[in-house]
Structure 1
Amino acid sequence: MMTNILEKIKAYSTIIIHRHQRPDPDALGSQVGLAELIKHNYPNKTVLTAGLDVPNLMWLAQMDKVEDRDYQHALVIVTDTANTARIDDDRYQKGDYLIKIDHHPNDEPYGDLVYVNTQVSSTSEMITELALAANWKMSDRAAYLLYAGIIGDTGRFLYPATSSRTLEIAAYLRQFSFDFSALARQMDSFSLKIAKLQGYVFENLEIDEHGVACVTLTQERLTQFGVTDADTAAIVGSPGKIDSVQTWVIFVEQPEGHYRVRLRSKEKVINQVAKKHDGGGHPLASGANSASVEENQQIYRELQELFQ
């Protein structure tokens, strides 16, 4: 599979790389890390990154301006995105050939070439493996991005998907010249308003006798703390720091009145619950959507049923 991907990369003079909406460090790390690797090893190719910039992650990477005409005879690669509905910028369909590279469950195997490995920690780990298989030269910038993606998706090597190979890959990337300490501080810190939001989450978390927890962040609360939906990504892991919490969900109300649903678990598999509610993801980290408070309550009940 990697050989086929490398052959396509060699064959095209223009390559456009997409990732999912509302990106996290792995989405940006794999997308822009791959772009940097290709540019570093094939300097005559045109390599562009597509999608909207996210204010709270612009310190990590920013997108290129991609014109419609750029897709003519272009290779398009989508990283870290399980299904087409989540791809940022639907022009991904306008290219000549489409490759999917992802580590989420392959519920929608879109594209002409599909490379999915659910056993790895992150798509950034997959991109690093691709670079090693190709014997590409690693740049400092690419190493920085890929390392950021790995520590983002492993929770700094906390989550079960962290393997011995993950640590080997991280050690390899760590050899390159980038400010490791600054990156670690950036990813581990948040603003005072996020700290106050986290305090609200702890104070208002509902926890049942099995350790199933939930909290709702309404538009009123988001406004109160001066935060956006994107900002809530910084606190999605917070309930899991409580020793009695095993599985948790955060409902984030959207301006239109529906809810973004963030699901996490320490051991129980929760992505099947997410799939019932227009979502999906990893076994222990998923996202979904809810149309109402009543559907929120239904999702919480379904999580509780996992312990019965």
Structure 2
Amino acid sequence: MNNIQTAIFAKIEQFDTIIIHRHQRPDPDAIGSQMGLAAILRATFPTKQVYCVGKQYPGLAWLGKTDEIDDETYRHALVVVVDTANQPRIDDQRYRQGDALIKIDHHPNDDPFGDLMWVNEQASSVSEMIYDFYAAIAELKMSNQAAQLLYTGIVGDTGRFKYPATTSHTFQVASELTKHDFSLTAVAEKEDEIDVPLAHLSAYVYQNLTISAAGAAFVVLTNQIIQSLELGDESTSAVVPLPGNIKSVVAWAIFVQQKDQSYRIRLRSKEPEINELAKRHGGGGHALASGAVAKDEHEINQVISELNQLVSDYRSERN
């Protein structure tokens, strides 16, 4: 692993301009790894121009603001894409306009891209990987801001250290990051913070969740429902873990209608692997956390049926 980290550092040294991308509809790990890496590079190379691009979401503004740059900035630039498994999900499709491209990710590498790739599916988060990159390269400098960003990304992607990808190494990394000067309490409060519309959405999810006898659960969030609660699609991600709090739920799907009337599907599971199901419907991801797309209600019903069958088969195998 150290060889690829060394190669990435060598590539970074070659460029005066570095532009960091992440995936669309970012979560704390996407932002934390993107802006955490940028903070490390700015502390290490004060004369380099380091930019973070992508749509700015008000709910994540506390982690930092993205940069607005023109196409000319990509000339002779190094582009780094973090926490993004496949190219269509990269926020800001100008990522190909740089002189070199690096992919850093922890999802299954179904879409290899870049001149250099560092993919570690065992990592809890890309924020954890960015810390490992810092730890492997003696020249890199960790700032308090970078430490807070990476810690936030780890906390977010591990679900407060409760998801299966959390390892002893994850705790070691988190411990090292907490030695820097930032408030753990503030991070926890921000990650848990919701507004009134999101509280109403959470109630809606619990009240309208359908749970099969096998333990497969789902809820459909139409544009009408989202608009009635004064929510944008980016705000729905916070309710994705909620069905997992119910004892009888084994795996679940949350369908979120998009402007083109299709549905974004967020799939989660406590044990049975759901990423192959996601791949059959234009998606993919981790074994227990994936995403997919349903073009209409017919495909929604297909996904629900397949999810229920998957959970039923899992229960039968265990019995």
What TM-score does the superposition give when structure 2 sets the normalisation length? 0.95
Please give the alpha-carbon distance, in whole angstroms, between the structure 1 residues aligned to 2:113 and 2:130: 19
- Please point out which of 67, 71, 75 is paired with 1:72: 75
- Please point out which of 142, 165, 172 is paired with 2:169: 165
Deviation readout 1:142-196 (Å, 9 max, x if unpaired): 0010001000000010100000000000000011111211110110121122111
Q: Which residue of 2 aligns with 1:249?
A: 253
Q: Give the percent of matched residue pairs that are identical in Structure 1 and Structure 2.
A: 51
Of 219-228 and 141-150, more deviation after overlay is shown by: 219-228
Matched, 1:83 2:86: yes
Task: Please tell me the residue identity of whatever aligns with 1:66.
Answer: I
Q: Tell whether the 8 Å contact from 1:49 to 1:66 is kept in structure 2 after alignment.
A: no
Deviation readout 1:190-215 (Å, 9 max, x if unpaired): 11221111111111111011110011
Please give the alpha-carbon distance, in whole angstroms, between the structure 1 residues aligned to 2:275 and 2:40: 32
Deviation readout 1:91-144 (Å, 9 max, x if unpaired): 110011100000000001101111000001000000000001112221000001
Q: Tell whether the 8 Å contact from 1:83 to 1:107 is kept in structure 2 after alignment.
A: yes
Q: Which residue of 2 aligns with 1:134?
A: 137
Please give the alpha-carbon distance, in whole angstroms, between the structure 2 residues aligned to 1:142 and 1:290: 37
Q: What's the Cα RMSD here?
A: 0.8
Give the total of aligned pairs: 308
Please give the alpha-carbon distance, in whole angstroms, between the structure 2 residues aligned to 1:255 and 1:15: 33
- Please point out which of 187, 198, 204 is paired with 1:200: 204
Q: Tell whether the 8 Å contact from 1:26 to 1:123 is kept in structure 2 after alignment.
A: yes
Q: CA deviation at 1:223?
A: 1.6
- Partner SS, residue 153 of structure 2: helix
- Please point out which of 25, 50, 53 is paired with 1:50: 53
Matched, 1:6 2:29: no
Task: Please tell me the residue identity of whatever aligns with 1:123.
Answer: V
Q: CA deviation at 1:60?
A: 1.3
Q: Tell whether the 8 Å contact from 1:269 to 1:284 is kept in structure 2 after alignment.
A: yes
Q: Which residue of 1 aligns with 2:178?
A: 174
Q: Tell whether the 8 Å contact from 1:21 to 1:86 is kept in structure 2 after alignment.
A: yes
Q: Tell whether the 8 Å contact from 1:21 to 1:51 is kept in structure 2 after alignment.
A: yes
Q: Which residue of 2 aligns with 1:101?
A: 104
Please give the alpha-carbon distance, in whole angstroms, between the structure 2 residues aligned to 1:189 and 1:51: 23
Please give the alpha-carbon distance, in whole angstroms, between the structure 2 residues aligned to 1:255 and 1:97: 34
Q: CA deviation at 1:255?
A: 2.3
Unaligned residue ranges in structure 1 (runs of 5+): none
- Partner SS, residue 16 of structure 1: strand
Q: CA deviation at 1:49?
A: 0.8
Matched, 1:230 2:234: yes
Q: Tell whether the 8 Å contact from 1:19 to 1:81 is kept in structure 2 after alignment.
A: yes
- Please point out which of 267, 275, 279 is paired with 1:275: 279
- Partner SS, residue 160 of structure 2: coil
Q: Which residue of 2 aligns with 1:298?
A: 302
Q: Tell whether the 8 Å contact from 1:16 to 1:77 is kept in structure 2 after alignment.
A: yes
Matched, 1:92 2:110: no
Please give the alpha-carbon distance, in whole angstroms, between the structure 2 residues aligned to 1:298 and 1:56: 33
- Partner SS, residue 63 of structure 2: coil
Unaligned residue ranges in structure 2 (runs of 5+): 314-319
Q: Which residue of 2 aligns with 1:212?
A: 216
- Please point out which of 155, 161, 173 is paired with 2:159: 155
Q: CA deviation at 1:232?
A: 0.6
